Structure formats: structure tokens, C-alpha cells
A and B are shown apart, each in its own frame.
Chain A
Amino acid sequence: MTPKRISGIKFEVLSPQEIRRMSVAKIFTPETYSDDGYPIESGLMDPRLGVVDPGLRCRTCGGKAGECPGHFGHIELAAPVIHVGYAKLIARLLNGTCRECGRILLKDERRDKYISQIEKLKELGQNYDEIVKEVFRVTKAVKKCPHCGADQIEVKFEKPTFYYEGDHKLTPKDVRERLEKIPDEDLPAFGIDPKACRPEWFVLTVLPVPPVTVRPSIILETGQRSEDDLTHKLVDIIRINQRFLENKEAGAPQLILEDLWELLQYHVTTYLDNEVSGIPPARHRSGRPLKTLAQRLKGKEGRFRGSLSGKRVNFSARTVISPDPNLSINEVGVPKVIAEELTVPIYVTPNNIEEAREYILRTEHPKANYVIRPDGRRIRVIDANREELAEKLEPGWIVERQLKDGDIVLFNRQPSLHRMSIMAHYVRVLPYKTFRLNPAVCPPYNADFDGDEMNLHVPQSIEAQAEAKILMAVQEHILSPRFGGPIIGGIHDHISGLYLLTRGEKLFSKEEVMELIRPINVEKIPEPKYDGKWTGKQIFSMILPDITLEFKAEICQGCEKCEGENCPHDAYVVIRNGELIKGTIDEKAVGAFKGIIIDEIVRKYGTEEAKKFIDNMTQLAIRAIMFFGFTVGIDDEDIPKEAREQIEEIMNEAEKKVEELIEAYKAGNLEPMPGRSLEETLEMKIMQVLGKARDQAGKIASQYLGMDNAAVIMAVSGARGSMLNLTQMAACIGQQSVRGERIRRGYAYSNRTLPHFKPGDLGARARGFVRSSYKRGLTPVEFFFHAVGGREGLVDTAVRTSQSGYLQRRLINALQDLKVEYDGTVREQTSGIIVQFKYGEDGVDPMKSFRGRGVDVKRIIKEVLAEKEG
């Protein structure tokens, strides 16, 4: 069953002879089904075209509904019709050849020169479009045929499918006759291979009829049959064709014949492509335009992008996700219902036949769902036939067993923007209906639990499972190839928890320590530091492997003179040989994007150790935060009266200053800044004043918000939020902006934002400055401005996603065939063309580099020095 290799694909044009040869039926009637529901002879539906109805057999090949692939028929057109797709090409050809003798409008030697140029490029594998373009361009300009001397007065025009020679309109028949005159030797100059394609074939005399399987009918709820759009179009074509024939026989006047011919051309054109510019699209009775051949293929939902490059697949599942901190980062919680439906095939061999039998005999999960015999028959495993099947089992059979714990699956969240959007996880079958994942692995998927859904795929062969396990495992992707740092790590509560645990010297009794350590595998706990009690730092050290690091924590305030180890804020982290001696653990140490400790462990001890550390660290952090208790309430944003009064004063001052600036501007006293107009200067100064006011207010508020305030803890440790968020909640929200400027437009014509203000009012309040804090609440006018500014944010998020999505698609399409070879060169996979002689010019894998640098010099120095000492 080895798949065959395709050695090549060539596209040619169908000749009328070929069409007639491959057809199994000549179609005359526009009727589809007869009165008793049977398909009609010589009609559009199955004389011998194929079957859709289960039960019927195909007349041509004898296959049943699933087997018969369908067969082509043909329609003899009463008169030739132009094929829309080739319309432009036909025009160019007509202009490039003589209207009398049909030869190309070039002397033989020039023609031969072009032909040899094209040959050469073809050998190199290069594109020869430019040369062909030049040939068309050059020949179009020629006025007199170099071979027969005839004049080429006309420059022919065409719109959808019409050709005008001067004033005279060319019929498709005329066009075909001219194309027939073009000799084979001239064609290569136009980039056409005469063996594959004769120009006259661009004008259709026979129309191939696609098999019934390509345009099946559907049965509506009402029981009626509804025909496919293509079938409708073909019916139209046949009808007109008939009328045309009848009229021609009956000797109708030229005009009528011409009209009918045009109508026939319209129907054939619209059948091939219904979105051609210049003609009204054919519509259903309902008014919606028909979906014809070109539309079936075109982008996104069309054949290429929607059915070939991407498909719906079996052995997949999708549900809502929810967090489970008790899972390891590389596990995924699978609902039992899903695990019972998804299966893994066991190819029965003498080695595993006993195991396979067991699955068949089991009545509960994990059991066998289906059994497949060598003849291909699928048998559902039911209580009634269990014993029988278990006995009949032989090597060569396949047993499909349900998904169970330890199986490897691919887990993914869309949009899949980087390789970490799909990773391999181990299955853990759990009750209830959601997929469960460890929160630490949310950042690479960009998942949150506000209703997100994720997809699961089950690799079906042993090779696929092995590949997933080795290449796509979660722990292999702890470091991001984008910036060389960890992308999996502690988030939110993990960071708050560890901060609370390791700040200062909090003491824990033995029982308390045991409770915190419970999920972690520690072999031996160190001696208590103080009088039978352990410190938080000691507890954290129990999960640290032997590493040595020194760095400033996230909470570091950047005091002018850094005291280093003796930092009074406990913000300088010192870890020696796996022991946390000084400093507080927060985002910088253990977070998803900074995580210095995680980074170090991955590089020094490998991915397995790092996975264990992250598992342990998250477990410990959660227990720690549960131990302390952590909550946020509205009173976390309370500030005492004096503070509020101070803030009021600052706001008043600021508004006054703004008024002063406006006065100065109106009086003409304002000095413009270099390079900017007066208005710009005014606006900039105002924004400055107001911004400063907000910041000052924020400073006052933070004076009164201590480290016992939960919001402050989260902001400072890097778990969530920032001082700006706190400022806005407690003190003052600040200036709203649209496109970087204060709110300008609002109340149409009268030069103001709202009718609440006088026209021309440039004051703080009138242009979107919000004085209040979230806690105090906004005035209606403030609320309106806040909505205006906020809306801009939402809109540009939406626009940004679609723009970046398109960019990503283009990049991917351009890069996907490139591969780094074993010698470090980057080559295109099929053609062997070299793109880079060394990957990225330096051969460095960004995932393994330290934050993007090729060589981590500091680390080398550190290690060498440490060796010398120890």
C-alpha cells in the first residue's frame, strides 16, 4: 500500500476531438427527470453520466453510489462560442498574427531568436513570461504582414467576449477560422506548445458536460429535489442551443440568429465564470448569483484553499477549555465522552494479538469500538459479538480502541500563528465536558478561559505518534524561537503566590511546610532555619535544582544607588547552588516571558528538568497563595480624605493652567515650538500638562497604597496590571484620545464635541479629559468621551488582526518550502535552489540562542570562572 509518487503534472487545453472521445453520452434535452422521478435519456442527469442515488447502479461502469466517480458527457454547440478564460489571450493572438495568412507578424529570423531565448530560459527553469509579453507587444504594433504583405489596419478591442475589427464585429466563428490559420511553427514564439494546444481550441465547438457526481441534486425538507447551480446553467445552455438550431433550420433572419448567438455566448460565459466584469451575473429566482465553475475554485472557501490545502478531518475533537493546575504542563484533560469516541488503531500482529483481544472483550472504557477485517469490512463491536470477534481475530486485522491515558494527541488553538499553537500532549481522561490544561501553558496558545475552545487531533500511526512525542512535545517548546526566552511559565496567581511566599522571611511550622510541599517530589527537606521553622525562601529552594544566579527582581524600584545583595526592598535575587539566599521571586524569575530561572534550567539541565520545575513551581505557587488567601475588593482602591483633597487641588491647578494656555494662544502670546504650528504647540502643551497632572495624582494615591494592597502586589510583582491601572482606579483616569489627539469631532458642524459646551471650547473637560477615577465614577460627559476613546481601541484591534493575518499568510506561502539542510544551507525543497548559504548568515537557531545573540559570552565567562573556583 505504498503511495505512488507523482512525477509531474502538465496542463493542456482540451480539443474538441478529445472532448468527444472521452464523453459517454451526447446530451440533447434540457430536461432532467421524468415524471416518475427517473433520470431521462439524453438529458442532463444520468443517461450514463454517473449515480448519486444510493441504490442505483451506473450504466457506464457499474459502480454504486460511492464507487462510481462519474463520467463526462458532451453537448454539440450549434455555433462556436468563445471561452471566457482565454478571451484576452485570443485578442493578443489575433493582434499578433496576420488577418489574411495567419502567420506571426515577424520575420522568420526574429521569430527564431525569440524562440531560442525562450528555450534557454526553460532549460534554466526560469520564467519566460517577459519574453512572451515582449513578443505580443512587438507584433501588435506591426502594420503590414512581412509574409503576405496584407495590411493589418485593425487594432482589435474586446470587452467580456467581443472582438471588434475597426467597426466590424467578429463572430466567434470568424475568430476560430483565423486562429486555425496560425501555423504550428509560429506558436512557440507566443509561449504556446503546439502539441499541447492549438489556438482554435480556445473557441468552443463542443462543451464537455460534467458528471452528475460533480453537480449533485439535493433533497429539501419538503421532499422536493433541488438541482445544483451548474445543472441549472447547463439547462439554460441546452435550451438556447436547441432554439438556435431550430431557428437556423427554419431559416430565421440574421438578426434573430445573432441575438440567439449572443445569448448562447452569455450563458456559456456565465457557466464558466459568473463573476466576469462587464456582464450581469446569472441569478437564481431568489436573486442570488449562481455559483459556477470559477467560483467553485476561487479563494478561501474554494477548492484550493478550502478543500485541498485545508480540509475537515476525522479523529478530531473540539470543546471549551478550562484550567486544571493539577495536570502537568504536557498533559491535556480529555472528557470521557470524547475519549470514548476517538480511537487509535492497533494493527494486529502476533506480538500484540493478546492485547488486542483484551480490548475487544472489555465492556468499559478503554475498549474497542470497531474491528476491521482484511477485506475492508468494518464491524462495530457490540456485546453480542464480542466473544466471536475476539476468537476470529488474526494478524492482519485492525482493532480501533478508544483513547486512553498516556496516548499522544495534538492540541491546538486557533489562530495558529506560530508552531507553539499546536503541541503534543499526553491524554488524561477526566469526567465532565471540557478540555483541561495547565494554566502555565496558556501563553503559547494565547488561550484564556473566558469561553475559548480548542481542537484535538489523534495521530493514527505509530510513526505519527513518535514524531509528535519527540518533535512537538510541550517541554521542547518552553523556549520561544522568536526571542530565545521561555514562553511557558508562571502567570497571574503563580507569580503573586511566589511573591507572597518568598518576600522577606515568613516562617512556617512543620505542618504548614508539609501542606505546601505535598504535590512535589522532594526527597529530603533541609533543616529549619529558625527554631524549628522554615522560611518561604527555603521552601522555594526545595524545588530548585543546582543553579547559581544573581539578578534584580521585577519589584526593583531602580533606586539610584543599588545596594545589590543588601537591597532593603529584598529586590536583588541571589541563588547559589540551588538555594534562594536573598531576594523575592516574581515575574522576572519565573514568569512566562522573562523567567530567568526557567531559562537557566532549560539550558543547563534540559527540557525534562525544566518541565518538572515548572510543574512544581506552579503547584507550590498555588498552594502558597491559597495559604495566604488573596482577594481584591473595592476598598483596595480607597484612599484617605487628605489624598483625595490633594488630588482635587492638582486637577484644579491643571485645568487653570490649561485655561491660561488657551488665553495665551487666543491673545497671540503663545510661542510656537520649533517646527510646529501654533495649534500643534497648544495641543501638545495641553496634553503635557494634563498628563503630568494625572501622573502626579497617581503618585499621591500610591503613597497611601501600601504593599498590603492586593492590587499593588499584583502590579509590582508583575502578575497582572501596572501602576497606571492603579492610578486610573484610585486617582484619575486621564485624557482620552483618538489617533493620538484629544477628542475633536463630535457635534457635527459647530466646532465642539458636544452641545454641552460652547463652540470653540478648547478646555480640558471639553476635549476629553476625564478627571474622575474609576472608583469615584464618571460624569455622563466623561463617560461619553471614554467610550469614544475606547471604541478606537476595539476597532483597531479588529483591523489589526485581519491585516496581520494576511501578512502572515503571504509570508507562510513564500517560506513554506524552505528547509535548512545538513550543511547549513537553506534550500528550496523541490527545486534545490539555494536561498541562503548559511541559515540567517550565522547558522544560529534562535530558539537555542540566548535572547537572540549568537554566543552568550557572559555565561561562558561565568562558567569558566566558576570552574576555576570550584
Chain B
Amino acid sequence: MKFKLQDHILVPKHELLSKEEAEELLKILGVRKEDLPKIRADDPIAKEIGAKPGDIVRIIRESKTAGRSVVYRLVI
């Protein structure tokens, strides 16, 4: 009966990227992992997802101007 953070309205959807997806992303953007925005490994939602330092998280959130906006974060 645990309360899942992702269920709350104010928390956007967080997904873990697979190794291949992560590589693909870095290639498309032409960046290194370190250039991405960061999220800490002890962040509550990172823990819920099971993210380890070095992983990349995909975050999908509702945007006032764009409808939907996708961002990525490196877990550190």
C-alpha cells in the first residue's frame, strides 16, 4: 500500500532510459553525459525509478506554451 510519487498530479512522468536509448540520445544531441541537466541519485523520484548514478532519465511534463515537453537528466 505504498504511495507512488508518480501518481501525484504535480509530479511529471519519469522514465529510465536503456543503455541503447541513452547512447542514441547522446549521439543525436552531440553531447557528453556530463553536459545534460542533472538529478541527484538520492532524489525521491530517482530512487523510486531505481536510477543509479550514470543513468539517464527521461521526463515528460505538461507545458503551458508547448503542450508537452520532454527533457532528460543525468543521474549523479
Residues of A within 8 A of B (CB): 124-125, 823, 825, 827, 831-838, 840-844, 854
Contacts and interface: CB of A to CB of B under 8 A. Distances in A.
24 contacts: A124-B34, A823-B29, A825-B29, A831-B35, A832-B32, A832-B35, A833-B34, A833-B35, A834-B29, A834-B35, A835-B37, A837-B71, A837-B72, A838-B66, A838-B69, A840-B65, A840-B66, A841-B63, A841-B65, A841-B66, A842-B63, A842-B65, A842-B66, A842-B69
Interface string B44-76: 000000000000000000010111011110001
Contacts of B63: 841-842
Interface string B24-48: 0000010110111100000000000
A841 B67 CA distance: 9
Nearest to B33: A124
A843 B66 CA distance: 8
Nearest to A843: B66
Contacts of A831: 35
A834 B31 contact: yes
Given A834-B31, A837-B70, A844-B65, 7 more contacts: A833-B34, A833-B35, A836-B71, A838-B66, A840-B65, A841-B65, A842-B63
A835 B67 CA distance: 19
A841 B35 contact: no
Nearest to B72: A837
- Contact-residue bracket for chain B: 10 to 19
Contacts of A844: 65
B37 A841 contact: no
Contacts of B70: 837
Contact of B31 (A832, A838, A843, A854): A832
| Overall SS of chain A's interface | loop
Nearest to B70: A837
A835 B35 CA distance: 9
Contacts of B34: 124-125, 833
A840 B71 CA distance: 12
Nearest to B63: A841
Contacts of B35: 827, 831-834
Contacts of A825: 29
A823 B27 CA distance: 13
Contact of A834 (B37, B65, B69): B37
B35 to A, nearest CB: 5
Contacts of A836: 71
Nearest to A828: B35
A393 to B, nearest CB: 50
A838 B36 CA distance: 13
B33 to A, nearest CB: 9
Nearest to A123: B34
A854 B66 contact: yes
A356 B69 CA distance: 58
A177 B56 CA distance: 50
A20 B24 CA distance: 56
Contacts of A832: 31-32, 35
A842 B31 CA distance: 21
A842 B66 CA distance: 5
Contacts of A840: 65-66
B36 A834 contact: yes
A854 B71 contact: no
Contacts of B29: 823, 825, 834
Nearest to B71: A837
A833 B31 CA distance: 8
Nearest to A125: B34
Nearest to A853: B65
A844 to B, nearest CB: 7
A836 B36 CA distance: 9
Contacts of A841: 63, 65-66, 69
Contacts of B65: 840-842, 844, 854
A848 to B, nearest CB: 14
A362 B25 CA distance: 64
A374 to B, nearest CB: 44
Among B34, B36, B65, the most chain A Cβ lie within 10 Å of the Cβ of B65
A856 to B, nearest CB: 14
